Amino acid sequence: MTEPVATALDLPRFTAAAVQAAPVYLDPAATVDKAVALIHEAAGHGAALVVFPEVFVPGYPYWNWTTDPLQGSPWYERLYRAAVDVPGPYVDALCAAARRTGTVVVIGVNERGRHSLGVLYNTLLTIGSDGELLGVHRKLVPTWAEKLTWTPGDGSSLRVHRTAVGPLGVLACGENTNPLARFTLLAQGELVHAAAYIALPTAPEDYDMAEAIALRAAAHCFEGKVFTVVSCSTVSPAMVDLLAADDARVRKQLDRPHSALSGVFGPDGRPVTEPLVDEEGIVYAEIDLGRCVQPKQMHDIVGHYNRFDVFRLHVDNRPLRPLSKEEA
């Protein structure tokens, strides 16, 4: 079976589900089980698209922000051992859930590098409603302290997928701040954007993560005249207990409010429905891609409202490999 394709004149109306939840931290099997249950729950409420947070399986390396690299190294090994192989049995379970429910699924995983024990990728999987793995996008630039954990991806995965819910593109967290990455997706006809985030209570004191997420989503929607489905993780009490132990400073950091926001934003940059802040839950919203047509008449930055004789974007979409061979 192949994923149904939306044509230029096929502008679907559907229900989107933005999941805001915490993983079962560093437990990939239990986290995948939780994700599968949430896919079925969302489909039971009519969702055709279900978006999960960044690196939901099996969680985010908060120790990079709360301790030094030497103390964080054993945590890296724990994350590496709990990471996901793509393809692999955990991906198979997620694909099976998408197929059984007929939903398009976007979910973040820590992907284990096949060629090196020092390679982990921050990866977003795009799964079609027929259960086919359509896309494996590796975060291009790990943000700040994340560089202690993740290897950068490459341009080969900056692709828009033709799905049952329309042309779908994905970016992870800080990538949604990169106008060139966003333009690359828009220029491929993106109309539905999945933006996956993590709760960041460890951000600088003057940084409001929930506000920053909403700002980025609104910017992409307004500039591109698209819909964005934002999914952000939460930090569970069990995670705080594990990561902080008896350290009151770390516990205070991880308990910081206004660190997560999930929701759906429309082509006018406004929320389609009330976003969810900090608490676990699923935000449902109705998306009508027909709403993208009229705003494009005013500002179509990948069409008439640009000067391609003045501005040109070059994207190298070749996959980067550590070894290439030339046969004699």
Helices (H), the chain: 28-44, 63-66, 69-82, 89-101, 179-186, 209-224, 237-244, 248-254, 293-298
Q: Looking at the domain assignment, is residue 184 inside a domain?
A: yes
Q: Residue 52 in contact with residue 16, Cβ under 8 Å? A: no
Question: Residues 139, 190, 292, 296: which is the catalytic one?
Answer: 139
Q: Give catalytic status of residue 173 as yes or no.
A: yes
Q: Is 43 inside a domain boundary?
A: yes
List 3, 34, 54, 95, catalytic entry: 54
> In tens digits, what is the pLDDT along the chain, a chain of 328 residues?
444 444 557 899 999 999 999 999 999 999 999 999 999 999 999 999 999 999 999 999 999 999 999 999 999 999 999 999 999 999 999 999 999 999 999 999 999 999 999 999 999 999 999 999 999 999 999 999 999 999 999 999 999 999 999 999 999 999 999 999 999 999 999 999 999 999 999 999 999 999 999 999 999 999 999 999 999 999 999 999 999 999 999 999 999 999 999 999 999 999 999 999 999 999 999 999 999 999 999 999 999 999 999 999 999 999 988 888 777 6
Q: What total of structural domains would you count in the chain?
A: 1
Q: Of residues 95, 111, 146, 173, which has the active-site annotation?
A: 173
**Quick check: is 139 catalytic?**
yes
List the Cα angle 109/118/174 in 5-degree steps.
Answer: 45
Separation CA 99–CA 120 (nearest Å): 27
CATH number, domain of 159, equals 3.60.110.10
**Is 324 among the domain residues?**
no
Per the domain annotation, does 182 fall within a domain? Answer: yes
Residue 26: give the domain boundaries: 13-298
316: in domain: no
Give bridge partners of residue 109 from the DSSP assignment: 57, 123
pLDDT value at residue 8: 53
Within a domain: 276: yes
Q: Is 292 a catalytic residue?
A: no
Query: In this structure, is residue 322 part of a structural domain?
Result: no
Q: What is the pTM of this model?
A: 0.96
- Within a 13 Å sphere around the CA of 169, how many CA atoms are in the beta-carbon half? 25
Q: What is the pLDDT of residue 227?
A: 98
Q: Residue 328: inside a domain, yes or no?
A: no
